[in-house]
Amino acid sequence: MQPQQINATELLARINQGEQLHLIDVREAIEYHTYNIGGVNIPLGALAGKINNLDYNKTDELIVICKVGLRSETAQTLLLQNGYHNVKNLTGGLIAIQKIRH
């Protein structure tokens, strides 16, 4: 089964509709504080250690985000391997979001 993806246009539309989304930003804290679209900041390096203590149900839709979509793809794999069923990766990452917003 192919891992699920969400693109920047779709994600922004859902955010703009006021949808409450479970966003996990897996960039480092300094990157997160420089620019983010909300969500919880759990750097990729810390995710494995926190994976059993996340405040999500295994069936919740989780959207993992990073700068370009590579670290979040790794995070998506990690979450899927740990029993989370509905994990989407933001393709193109926050760079794609910024291109749309500007």
Residues 1-12: tens digit of each pLDDT: 678 999 999 999
Cα three-residue angle 29-37-94, rounded to 5 degrees: 80
Taking the C-alpha atoms of residue 11 and residue 49, their distance in angstroms, rounded to an integer, is 27
Predicted local distance difference test score (pLDDT) of residue 2: 74
CA 93 to each of CA 16, 50, 57, 72: distance values in angstroms, whole numbers, following the listed order: 17, 22, 24, 8
Taking the C-alpha atoms of residue 16 and residue 53, their distance in angstroms, rounded to an integer, is 29
pLDDT in tens, 73-96: 999 999 999 999 999 999 999 999
Encoding tokens for residue 85? 């069923």
pLDDT in tens, 30-59: 999 999 999 999 999 999 999 999 999 999
Amino acid at 100: I
